[in-house]
Structure 1
Amino acid sequence: MPGLSRVLLTASLLGLAACAGAPQARKPGAAKVDDTAVNALYARLDRDSRRYADGLDLARSGDTAKAQEEMKAALDDLRAAATNCAALAGCDQQRFVAGFDALLRQGIGGPADEGSEDGGDGPATEEPVEPGASSPAVAQLPQLGRSITLLKGRELSDIIALNGPVKASLEEWLTQYRPNLMTAYENYQYMRSQMWPEYEKAGLPEALLFGMMAKESGGKVHAVSRSGASGPLQFMYATGLRFGLSTVDGFDQRFDPKLSARANAAYVNEQLAIFNNNLELVIGAYNGGEGAMQRRAGRGASALSFWDPQIYYGVSQETREYVPMVLAAAWLFMHPERYNLEFPKLAAHPGSITLKRPASIAELTICLGQDNGAHDGWFRTLRNLNPQLDPQRPEPAGAKLAVPLQLEKVYERDCAQGRWPELAAELHSAVVPAPPPVALARAAEPSKPKGPKTVTVRKGDTLARIAGRSGCSSKQIAVANGLRGPHYTIKPGQVLKLTCAAR
């Protein structure tokens, strides 16, 4: 019965993945735990696992029809029990993932799954497992795989406190920053095969990596802050050097997603040891400096909580906002279904192309178009996957570039030859005429102020009338002067600040 166990398990795992992604009605801690019901589900897990194993024995003895019947019945019931577990307070879904994982391992390379399709002696080809995923079940159930990742032996879901600041940050990610969250998720998925293995080797949860990257750069590898922090995880130069990120052949390794993830993991583990695994203090130290955090909170088991008023109100406003935003992004990565949030499903497997003609990343972006629903095109993804390349400089024929796997065929079809690469080359070689010297001199002259920076309210004035005279918007004036809606009360003689370019 070649491949039967894999086929049955794959179908069952897909069903379980759908259950894991469905919205859940209950909230953590809101319902009383029914120990009897939970234990009954665990008993079903054990019973169905034994029934599946018995089915494998039937398959080995040659009773294919009976084996298929038993194994399918066991998996159907196990999937139903897992669905009930997801909706039952206190039920540990990790047990069911581990149960499916154990069954899947029995079917990969095991006695019931050996032999080729035509009855040969060779082992069956194993299903591909995504890089960094050690568990076959987790590889096929990324939603549950994220939720069971541990931080120093504890589930990340148990560590993150859903307090006021974190809940407020959840609202921000789900409202005005939702586009940023989605963009960060898309960028991360294409870089995941480079970044996540570094975190996994360091024993750190993937959700934390995503949360820090989402807040730091949104997954833009070449991001540089005003203070000089650079790369997807925004390392300062000195801190980067401390964790192995230097400049090699003119390339700043802070921009390398794999190396920056490795350095970030090393930093987090170092600080977890210092702060006795207090995650909030570690995240705060990453943003505001570990020295300052140690002076405020202390070290080891005696370190204060980040939420202690002495610490929370003692750090900068930036750090006070940064920590809950990272935690909220990590929480949403693990539990999107709880917030009516659906991350995009991407075919983000890594691939590569070998250039058949010279081309820059800019030219490739044009000829690759928007294949596979890439509404923003591929410029950001190509830059992220090839951070060492100047996107405007043509790379020679024979150069190898990292791309998402699905673009390998698109490149052969649209970019190796034909009208699209020719159009891209034509646009790329276009020359913008330089301005004449007189225009340059005029542009260098300092601009004169266009109007007053304050305005005095006259009798009969309204905020809208002042906005019309000044060239500022009503909202700009209200914000600059602390005026509250809905009436935005002003009075004659009042002096209002203008923060826009008034005319």
Structure 2
Amino acid sequence: MRRLLRCVPGLPSALAVVALACVPAVMAAPSSADPGTEAEQESLYVDFEAAAKAYRDGVAQAAGGERRPGKRSAQRAMDRMFDLMERCRRTEGCEAERLVSRFDALLGARTRVAGEGDDEAEASPAEATAANQAEGSPVVEAFPNAADTLNQLNGRDLRELIVQNEAVRAAMAEWLTALRPQLINAHEQYQYLRFLMWPEYERAGLPEALLFAIMARESGGRVHAISPAGAAGLMQFMPATGRRFGLGWQDGYDTRFEPQLASRASTQYLNERFAELGHNLELALAAYNGGEGRVGRLARQNPGRSFWDPAVYNALPKETRDYVPYILSAAWLFLHPEDYGLEFPSVNGAATVLALKQPASINQLTICIGNGESRYGYFRALRNLNPRWLPETVLPAGTELRVPVVVRPLYDAGCVQGTRAERALALVNARKPDAGPAPREAVATGSRYTVRRGDTLSAIARRHGCSAQTVARVNGLRSPYALRPGQRLSLSGCRG
């Protein structure tokens, strides 16, 4: 019997997924602290202890057999603790480290939320291996297989809502021919990201197949995807729409690239559209692609008519008319791959936190780790799980990265010392010779900088001692700050 929730040494799996993503942000240096009285600080500490108790009570309730309500209570308590840690970080005089330490101790207590087959003796060899590999490090175990997860949308099975018409069948044919590699690669990357993204859809009451289908079509499973129009991230939010749902530039980083936050924002957007459009799946998806204003007007002008009605369908741009069948067919294939000879690769989606034992970049780690159990190696997974870091940035020893659990022993074996580690370092330090007489490295000249291929605004700002917002403001750039090679930027306000 599968485990719905299970803990390996370190963290309660389904409840700690947010911790890996959020605790580092809580510990970041305060950007704008508010003065707080001693009474306000003490109130935060007292409220945190109350939330911690509610978390323990929820875990105990689930362990006593009331799994679903216990899980909900524990999750609400955990969300409350995150809110309080963030408020403490922004309150002058409040000891954020005190709350984070308390939080770590709470999650490290080896508590378990009971589920089906929660007898430790029933652990599979793969589960036992993952636990052994993760000893001494927090681990989030992979969630159950998709076939066992929630497929309900507003009380109806998603499979009953997907219209099998010519447009959907034609889109399905494309997914199974020219787009099959994109679909399979997106599924593989989704498995590594699932522990961050799926809980947001589950809490919002939305089907997992819908999450996967949107991600597969929008970004192909690439966290850093940016469209020519400026949409960014796995779920491709435009800047203005992203800001409505809490996404955007914070401390020089575009949070549209955060898998968990993007997943949460997409649930909020979709449920907002469902409420506006009479819970019509196709119209909500059309709004996701073609704009809520346009689709909302069409729905009001054609009350009771479906997306497929000529009065609605023909009034939409071709991209949107194609987009909806692509999403519906990808969701159907996610639910019924075996019916079409589609075999998604089996991926161990468990994740762990790896503390670097010596400086390294994601590029360097990709080389020294090797392929392991993955056909193409772990570059994309490492990038997706650690979206704040550019792949060439050398991260100092002690930096904590989220990695697939299978990567940790590969790191210990090939990246810390030895021939492979030395070769990886030599390869990432190699530089292609320049074609012309230009300097080997494009550098800031005086107070200006020439953009190179692959540059991002945040990387340029970081190298020259200022914030991305400063460089953007000086140069009149607007989010998402798309740069082009050869573009000249003023570095006024930077240190060098």
TM-score, with length taken from structure 2: 0.60
Residues 407, 109 of structure 1: alpha-carbon distance in 2 compared, 3 angstrom cutoff: closer
User: What secondary structure, in the 3-state scheme, does the structure 2 residue paired with 1:302 have?
Assistant: coil
- Give the number of the structure with larger relative contact order, counting CA–CA contacts within 8 Å between residues 6 or more apart: 2
Measure the CA separation in 2 of the matches of 1:423 and 1:412. 15
Letter in 2 for 1:155: D
* CA displacement at 1:132 relative to structure 2: 9.1
Q: For the aligned residues, what is the CA RMSD?
A: 2.8
Measure the CA separation in 1 of the matches of 2:116 and 2:206. 28
In structure 1, the partner of 2:421 is 421
In structure 2, the partner of 1:226 is 228
Measure the CA separation in 2 of the matches of 1:200 and 1:272. 16
In structure 1, the partner of 2:378 is 378
Query: 1:26-50 CA distances to partner (integer Å, 9 max, x unpaired)?
Result: xxxxxxxxxxxxxxxxxxxxxxxxx
Measure the CA separation in 1 of the matches of 2:193 and 2:146. 18
User: What secondary structure, in the 3-state scheme, does the structure 1 residue paired with 2:175 have?
Assistant: helix
In structure 2, the partner of 1:201 is 203
Query: 1:16-74 CA distances to partner (integer Å, 9 max, x unpaired)?
Result: xxxxxxxxxxxxxxxxxxxxxxxxxxxxxxxxxxxxxxxxxxxxxxxxxxxxxxxxxxx
Alignment partner for residue 144 of structure 1, among 144, 147, 152?
147
Q: How does 1:141-180 map to 2 (within 5 A)?
A: 142-146=145-149, 148-180=150-182
Q: Is the 8 A contact 1:253 1:259 kept in 2?
A: yes
Q: How does 1:367-446 map to 2 (within 5 A)?
A: 367-372=368-373, 374-437=374-437
* CA displacement at 1:352 relative to structure 2: 2.0
In structure 2, the partner of 1:351 is 352
* CA displacement at 1:269 relative to structure 2: 0.5
User: What secondary structure, in the 3-state scheme, does the structure 1 residue paired with 2:331 have?
Assistant: helix
In structure 1, the partner of 2:306 is 305
Measure the CA separation in 2 of the matches of 1:131 and 1:274. 37
Q: Is the 8 A contact 2:141 2:349 kept in 1?
A: no
Measure the CA separation in 2 of the matches of 1:185 and 1:252. 24
In structure 1, the partner of 2:336 is 335
Residues 132, 203 of structure 1: alpha-carbon distance in 2 compared, 3 angstrom cutoff: farther
In structure 1, the partner of 2:454 is none
TM-score, with length taken from structure 1: 0.59
Q: Is the 8 A contact 2:364 2:428 kept in 1?
A: yes
**Bigger radius of gyration:** 1
* CA displacement at 1:145 relative to structure 2: 1.8
Residues 396, 10 of structure 1: alpha-carbon distance in 2 compared, 3 angstrom cutoff: closer
Q: Is the 8 A contact 2:153 2:207 kept in 1?
A: yes
Query: 1:396-441 CA distances to partner (integer Å, 9 max, x unpaired)?
Result: 000011110011111111111111221111111123333434999x
Residues 411, 338 of structure 1: alpha-carbon distance in 2 compared, 3 angstrom cutoff: same
Query: 1:126-177 CA distances to partner (integer Å, 9 max, x unpaired)?
Result: xxx98696xxxxx3xx24324x520111110011111110011111101111
Q: How does 1:88-167 map to 2 (within 5 A)?
A: 108=118, 139=144, 142-146=145-149, 148-167=150-169
Query: 1:243-274 CA distances to partner (integer Å, 9 max, x unpaired)?
Result: 00021121100011110000001000000000
Measure the CA separation in 1 of the matches of 2:156 and 2:170. 25
Measure the CA separation in 1 of the matches of 2:286 and 2:151. 22
Stretch deviating more after TM superposition (333-342 or 250-259): 333-342
In structure 2, the partner of 1:271 is 273
Measure the CA separation in 1 of the matches of 2:245 and 2:329. 26
Q: Is the 8 A contact 1:208 1:330 kept in 2?
A: yes
Alignment partner for residue 287 of structure 1, among 286, 289, 295?
289
Measure the CA separation in 2 of the matches of 1:161 and 1:230. 29
Stretch deviating more after TM superposition (315-324 or 411-420): 411-420
Q: Is the 8 A contact 1:170 1:328 kept in 2?
A: yes
Residues 361, 156 of structure 1: alpha-carbon distance in 2 compared, 3 angstrom cutoff: same
* CA displacement at 1:298 relative to structure 2: 1.9
Letter in 2 for 1:290: E
Query: 1:94-118 CA distances to partner (integer Å, 9 max, x unpaired)?
Result: xxxxxxxxxx9676479xx9xxxxx
* CA displacement at 1:294 relative to structure 2: 0.9
Residues 308, 106 of structure 1: alpha-carbon distance in 2 compared, 3 angstrom cutoff: closer
Q: Is the 8 A contact 1:132 1:196 kept in 2?
A: no
Measure the CA separation in 2 of the matches of 1:106 and 1:348. 20
Count of aligned residue pairs for this structure pair = 315
Letter in 1 for 2:260: K
Q: Is the 8 A contact 1:298 1:304 kept in 2?
A: no
In structure 2, the partner of 1:314 is 315
Percentage of identical aligned residues: 48
User: What secondary structure, in the 3-state scheme, does the structure 2 residue paired with 1:219 have?
Assistant: coil
Letter in 2 for 1:349: A
Measure the CA separation in 1 of the matches of 2:438 and 2:383. 38
Letter in 2 for 1:198: E
Q: Is the 8 A contact 1:275 1:303 kept in 2?
A: no
Measure the CA separation in 2 of the matches of 1:223 and 1:106. 38
Q: Is the 8 A contact 1:356 1:397 kept in 2?
A: yes
Measure the CA separation in 1 of the matches of 2:390 and 2:210. 30
Residues 439, 329 of structure 1: alpha-carbon distance in 2 compared, 3 angstrom cutoff: same
Residues 108, 357 of structure 1: alpha-carbon distance in 2 compared, 3 angstrom cutoff: closer
Letter in 2 for 1:342: E
User: What secondary structure, in the 3-state scheme, does the structure 1 residue paired with 2:343 have?
Assistant: coil
Measure the CA separation in 1 of the matches of 2:116 and 2:380. 41
In structure 2, the partner of 1:14 is none
Query: 1:338-363 CA distances to partner (integer Å, 9 max, x unpaired)?
Result: 21211111112111211011000000
Q: Is the 8 A contact 2:142 2:348 kept in 1?
A: no
Q: Is the 8 A contact 1:367 1:414 kept in 2?
A: yes
Query: 1:163-202 CA distances to partner (integer Å, 9 max, x unpaired)?
Result: 1100111111011111110001001000000000111111
> Which segments of 5 or more consecutive residues in structure 2 lack a partner in the other structure?
4-113, 123-138, 441-496
In structure 2, the partner of 1:77 is none
Letter in 2 for 1:260: A
Residues 392, 281 of structure 1: alpha-carbon distance in 2 compared, 3 angstrom cutoff: same
Measure the CA separation in 2 of the matches of 1:173 and 1:106. 35
Measure the CA separation in 2 of the matches of 1:438 and 1:358. 30
Q: Is the 8 A contact 1:304 1:311 kept in 2?
A: yes
Letter in 2 for 1:337: E
Residues 274, 181 of structure 1: alpha-carbon distance in 2 compared, 3 angstrom cutoff: same
Q: Is the 8 A contact 1:181 1:214 kept in 2?
A: yes
* CA displacement at 1:304 relative to structure 2: 2.2
Measure the CA separation in 2 of the matches of 1:105 and 1:430. 51
In structure 2, the partner of 1:213 is 215
Residues 438, 154 of structure 1: alpha-carbon distance in 2 compared, 3 angstrom cutoff: closer
